[in-house]
Amino acid sequence: MKTYRAMASLVTSALLMAGYFLSPVAVKAVGPGDSAEISKLLVGAKAEAVELKNDSEDLDASVKSRLSWESHARKIEMVKEHINNTGKMLPKLKDAEASGAPWQQTVIQRIEPLLKELAANTETTINYLNENRSKVHCPEFRDYVKANYELATDLKTLLRDFVNYGEAKEKFANLQRRLEVTG
């Protein structure tokens, strides 16, 4: 029995050592490293998306009230501003996309259609409001606002999840580096 335990311990130690020496190679072989530039832009886009979602939520809540069309117009302008600010980051993200890690490339590819749809829906909502100022309490207007709120929530969630993933991935890589130095 002692021989079996000694042998199992030796095999386990050998596997751990092999894993120790091979894991940095395997991690590096996955693909290009994370781009600090893209990560910084994604953090900025996430901050805008949070504000966009909050303003969209305020607008969605306000359509159930008896606010004037001017109040709704001011709220829609705030939403539009956040979409435009995020849209200004998109060309920078697209330019840097090729230098990013696969997860960064994925998030950039997913942001674009959501942002375009949000911009188109916001423009439609603004046009509806301009042409139907007396109908801001009608179901059509509420539906436009609700659709924008849902898309803004999706964009915020997408960016939050990917930024959180990048941060967790970086923490793990830092832990691995510390283990390599102390090991």
Question: Which residue ranges make up each domain of the chain?
Answer: 1-30, 32-182
Q: Reduced to 3 states, what is the DSSP secondary structure of residue 111?
A: helix
Annotate 22-75 with three-state secondary structure: HHHHHHHCCCCCCCHHHHHHHHHHHHHHHHHHHHHHHHHHHCCCCCCHHHHHHH
**Residue 70: pLDDT over 60:** yes
CATH topology of domain 32-182: Four Helix Bundle (Hemerythrin (Met), subunit A) (1.20.120)
Q: Which amino acid is at 53?
A: K
What's the whole-model pTM score?
A: 0.78
> How does pLDDT run across 25-60, given as a tens digit for each residue?
333 323 448 999 999 999 999 999 999 999 999 999
- pLDDT for res 180: 84
Q: Which two tokens stand for residue 178?
A: 């510390």
> How does pLDDT run across 79-137, given as a tens digit for each residue?
999 999 999 999 999 999 999 999 999 999 999 999 999 999 999 999 999 999 988 88
